[in-house]
């Protein structure tokens, strides 16, 4: 899941095709756990990382690194772990990665509880929650695209629980930061507003952004009233017409 656009990339195809060319993939799946169904084993990427503090609602700092069996011997941490010389027969990667320095493992140890708790909120568990979040993200995208008079940036099949739309009339990094701040502080709407491409992806530090993207995230605590609030705030700040006329 790409961060600035929120788009879900066809990762199975990407991994398979690169594999065919002899290229290993490291899948940055920071947003994937809890947003889209995943089977790391079936995906078969050489390396995969995912976060627990995004859609799984775990504490910050918990995540996972998965290394395919045939690549494990080449992977070592920058800081080795307590227990590296543990004579017990635990996998070498666990011994070397699990307890580095004085790291606080609370976030990692809390993840199973977070997964159980959030997955227990709906009768249908995680699949139901993920589907509901996706529906709300799609609704947000429809409403914002209509209000802004724009075509969606990608097909519905590439939407998970986030949706980004370009904002006409804004172009600079400073304008993006300023709008995000106004929406958060004055309108109490937390939404990502970021220049596109991100600075690190531009040809030089001086190269300007070509667009500013507004990215909505839909989690279980959101509903249509949050979209109303966002639409109202955009009307106020950008003079955008509402997608759905309100009384
Ligand atoms: C695609 C992607 N990779 C990596 C990260 C960084 O995650 P972390 O919070 O672990 O620094 C993010 C955070 O938004 C992300 O969206």
Separation of alpha carbons 3 and 41, rounded Å? 23
Q: Quick one: which atom of ligand 1 is closest to the CA of 54?
A: 9
The pLDDT assigned to 209 comes to 87
* Average pLDDT rounded to a whole number, residues 205-223: 93
182 Cβ inside 6 Å of ligand 1 = no
Q: How far is the CA of 30 from the centre of ligand 1 (A)?
A: 5
Supply the mean pLDDT for the chain.
Answer: 94
The pLDDT assigned to 168 comes to 84
Question: Which neighbouring-strand residues pair with 194?
Answer: 213
Q: How far is the CA of 50 from the centre of ligand 1 (A)?
A: 9
pLDDT at 96 over 90: yes
Given a contact cutoff of 8 angstroms between Cβ atoms, the answer to whether 3 and 24 are in contact is no
158 Cβ inside 6 Å of ligand 1 = no
* Average pLDDT rounded to a whole number, residues 160-170: 93
pLDDT band with cut points at 50, 70 and 90 for residue 172: confident
| CA quadruple 54, 55, 57, 62: dihedral sign | negative
Separation of alpha carbons 133 and 159, rounded Å? 10
Q: Which of 3-7, 141-145, 173-177 has the lowest mean pLDDT?
A: 173-177
Q: What angle do CA 72, 77, 81 make, to 5 degrees?
A: 110
pLDDT band with cut points at 50, 70 and 90 for residue 224: very high
pLDDT band with cut points at 50, 70 and 90 for residue 167: very high
Separation of alpha carbons 84 and 70, rounded Å? 21
pLDDT at 48 over 60: yes
Q: How far is the CA of 3 from the centre of ligand 1 (A)?
A: 7
| DSSP 8-class letter at 88 | S
pLDDT at 246 over 60: no
Given a contact cutoff of 8 angstroms between Cβ atoms, the answer to whether 212 and 150 are in contact is no
Question: Which neighbouring-strand residues pair with 67?
Answer: 47
Q: How far is the CA of 133 from the centre of ligand 1 (A)?
A: 19
* Average pLDDT rounded to a whole number, residues 166-177: 88
Q: What angle do CA 183, 217, 65 make, to 5 degrees?
A: 125
Separation of alpha carbons 142 and 152, rounded Å? 8
Give the dihedral of Cα atoms 230, 233, 237, 243; nearest 10 deg: 60
More confidently predicted of 206 and 37: 37
Give the dihedral of Cα atoms 97, 101, 102, 108; nearest 10 deg: -10
Given a contact cutoff of 8 angstroms between Cβ atoms, the answer to whether 55 and 35 are in contact is yes
The pLDDT assigned to 243 comes to 64
3 Cβ inside 6 Å of ligand 1 = yes
Give the dihedral of Cα atoms 38, 44, 17, 29; nearest 10 deg: 40
pLDDT at 216 over 60: yes
Q: Which of 55-59, 166-170, 187-191 has the lowest mean pLDDT?
A: 166-170
Which residue, judged by its Cα, is nearest atom 7 of ligand 1?
30
Which residue in 193, 169, 174, 173 sits closest to 183, CA to CA? Answer: 193
pTM of the model: 0.92
H or E element, residue 67: strand 63-67
pLDDT at 247 over 70: no
Q: What pLDDT digit, counting tens, does each position of 12-28 carry?
A: 999 999 999 999 999 99
Q: Quick one: which atom of ligand 1 is closest to the CA of 29?
A: 1
């Amino acid at each position: 899941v790409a961060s600035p656009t929120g788009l879900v990339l066809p990762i199975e195809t990407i991994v398979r095709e690169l594999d065919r060319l002899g290229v290993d993939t490291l899948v940055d799946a920071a947003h994937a756990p809890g947003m889209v169904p995943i089977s790391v084993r079936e995906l078969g990427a050489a390396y995969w990382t995912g976060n627990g503090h995004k859609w799984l609602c775990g504490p910050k700092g918990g995540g996972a690194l998965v290394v395919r069996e045939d690549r494990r011997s080449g992977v070592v941490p920058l800081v080795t772990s307590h227990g590296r010389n543990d004579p017990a027969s635990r996998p070498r990667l666990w011994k070397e990665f699990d307890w580095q320095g004085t790291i606080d493992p609370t976030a990692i140890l809390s993840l199973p509880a977070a997964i159980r708790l959030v997955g227990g909120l709906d009768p249908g568990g995680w699949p139901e929650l993920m589907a509901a979040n996706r529906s709300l993200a799609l609704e947000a995208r429809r409403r914002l695209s209509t209000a802004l008079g724009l075509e969606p940036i990608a097909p519905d099949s590439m939407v998970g629980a986030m949706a980004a739309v370009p904002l006409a009339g804004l172009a600079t990094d400073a304008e993006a930061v300023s709008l995000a701040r106004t929406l958060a502080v004055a309108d109490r709407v937390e939404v990502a507003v970021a220049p596109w491409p991100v600075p690190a992806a531009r040809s030089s530090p001086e190269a300007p952004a070509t667009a500013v993207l507004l990215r909505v995230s839909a989690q279980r605590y959101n509903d249509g009233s949050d979209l109303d609030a966002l639409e109202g705030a955009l009307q106020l700040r950008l003079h955008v017409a509402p997608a759905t006329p309100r009384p």
